[in-house]
């Protein structure tokens, strides 16, 4: 199905400068889509982004987190500094959309719309550079490896905000199931933290017929699984969200052998940093205490992955006002509930105030396979959203870096 600007909510508000280049930026999106690259391997995508930004007059910095790109534009004497981030990586999924620009790489696919996010920010970058009507510094951040490998964290650790200080940073994500082109904002906790834990229960193996001569890690692991259920039900405030799931448990091979050890793997989620910290404390205490009671040893390897994504109030209000004043209530989604996924823009928000917003990707009317969620082999970014979302970034830049 072809791309039509008018399919998006608020399409009549698309800026003329964006409208002029929309078709070209959609073809850039298709080019990125057809050539997906996984985490930290976004060499061609990153080169494309850098080359375009340079051609429009941005000072381009490459190499942060390997394939990360930052394009900076400084105009006037203004001291305000704004960051906008897009993600560039694809997923290890075999595409099944059947679109003409489908992935040319078996087993790799842009199934989360990061091709769209990159094209949106590039379209905005071009219009902003043409207008040259702001006062201050604009840093456009194109990050690698959002999907699980923490490219955002690496950019921050490698000095993103030391080298490119920002007073606020913003990012958007498309969201299937919401009307295409409508904007959603949420102050406070918006996405969950996601941590993983490996527990190794070590006992003493032996013959299944003589348990008294061994120290059984299977029984201890069973007690630990049950004890872990009390954390969410007894320690977490009922008004808070938390998840502790034992997703894998491995030990032993034969019915008549007590194994030496059992391995367990957990996923742990929360919305609030305080709850996240408490979960770690309780999981560790509880596993150790159970082990002592049952005479085994237990090692807890706690892996902090992504923190909860917490939107700051003032930047979220600002981001919402930009959309509201420009599109009216009709352009906005109703108050959003927090999402249970996680997102490594959270690392940027830990260092810099800002807000992460969503834009509706539609309900599947834009392609033949119908509606589906991101990370599905049938998913496709909705091109009708590109012009309205690019116009939004232009508006946000104009307002945040207003000329005096």
Interacting residue ranges for Zn ion, rule: CB under 5 A: 112
The residue number with the shortest CB distance to Zn ion is 112
Nearest approach in angstroms of CB 216 to Zn ion is 41
Q: Which is nearer to Zn ion, 173 or 272 (CB)?
A: 173
Nearest approach in angstroms of CB 355 to Zn ion is 16
Q: Which is nearer to Zn ion, 61 or 110 (CB)?
A: 110
> What is the bridge-based pairing of β-strands 136-143 and 81-87?
parallel
Q: Which is nearer to Zn ion, 232 or 310 (CB)?
A: 310
Nearest approach in angstroms of CB 93 to Zn ion is 10
Alpha carbon 92 to its chain centroid, in Å, reads 16
Q: Please tell me the chain's helix, strand, coil percentages from 3-state DSSP, rounded to the nearest 5.
A: 40, 25, 40
User: Can you give the length of the chain in residues?
Assistant: 404
Q: CA dihedral in degrees (291, 296, 302, 308; nearest 10)?
A: -30
The H-or-E segment that residue 247 falls in is strand 242-250
Which residue in the block uniquely carries the two structure tokens 């927090």? Answer: 338
Q: Give how far Cα 32 sits from Cα of 257, 364, 371, Å.
A: 54, 21, 21
Q: Which is nearer to Zn ion, 69 or 112 (CB)?
A: 112
Q: Which is nearer to Zn ion, 217 or 360 (CB)?
A: 360
N- to C-terminal Cα separation, the chain: 45
Q: Which is nearer to Zn ion, 111 or 231 (CB)?
A: 111
Nearest approach in angstroms of CB 12 to Zn ion is 28
Nearest approach in angstroms of CB 375 to Zn ion is 6
DSSP 302: E
Q: Give how far Cα 116 sits from Cα of 119, 156, 300, 378, Å.
A: 5, 23, 40, 16
Nearest approach in angstroms of CB 58 to Zn ion is 24
């Amino acid at each position: 199905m072809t791309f039509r600007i008018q399919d998006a909510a608020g399409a009549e508000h698309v800026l003329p400068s964006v409208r002029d280049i929309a078709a070209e930026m959609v073809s850039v999106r298709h080019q990125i889509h057809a050539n997906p690259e996984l985490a930290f391997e976004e060499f061609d995508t990153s080169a494309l982004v850098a080359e375009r930004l340079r051609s429009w007059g941005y000072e381009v910095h490459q190499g942060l987190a390997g394939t990360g790109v930052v394009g900076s534009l400084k105009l006037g004497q203004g001291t305000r500094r704004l960051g906008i981030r897009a993600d560039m990586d694809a997923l290890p999924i075999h595409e099944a959309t059947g679109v003409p620009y489908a992935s040319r790489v078996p087993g790799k696919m842009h199934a989360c719309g990061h091709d769209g996010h990159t094209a949106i920010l590039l379209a905005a970058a071009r219009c902003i550079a043409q207008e040259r009507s702001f006062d201050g510094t604009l840093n456009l951040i194109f990050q690698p490896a959002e999907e699980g490998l923490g490219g955002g964290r690496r950019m921050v650790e490698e000095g993103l905000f030391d080298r490119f200080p920002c007073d606020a940073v913003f990012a958007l994500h498309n969201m299937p199931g919401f009307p295409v082109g409508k904007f959603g904002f949420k102050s406070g906790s918006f996405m969950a933290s996601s941590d993983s834990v490996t527990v190794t229960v070590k006992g003493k193996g032996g013959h299944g017929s003589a348990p008294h001569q061994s120290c059984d890690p299977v029984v201890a692991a069973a007690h630990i699984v049950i004890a872990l259920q009390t954390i969410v039900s007894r320690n977490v405030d009922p008004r808070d969200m938390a998840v502790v799931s034992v997703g894998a448990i491995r030990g032993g091979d034969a019915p008549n052998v007590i194994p030496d050890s059992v391995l367990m793997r957990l996923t742990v989620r929360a919305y609030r940093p305080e709850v996240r910290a408490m979960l770690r404390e309780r999981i560790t205490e509880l596993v150790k205490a159970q082990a002592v009671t049952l005479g085994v040893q237990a090692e807890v390897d706690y892996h902090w992955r992504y923190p909860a994504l917490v939107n700051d109030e003032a930047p979220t209000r600002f981001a919402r006002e930009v959309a509201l004043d420009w599109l009216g209530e009709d352009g906005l989604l109703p108050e959003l509930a927090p999402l249970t996924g996680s997102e490594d823009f959270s690392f940027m928000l830990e260092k810099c105030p800002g807000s992460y917003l969503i834009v509706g990707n539609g309900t599947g009317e834009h392609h033949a396979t119908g509606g589906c969620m991101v990370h599905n082999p049938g998913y496709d970014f909705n091109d009708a959203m590109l012009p309205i979302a690019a116009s939004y970034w232009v508006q946000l830049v104009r307002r945040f870096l207003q000329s005096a």
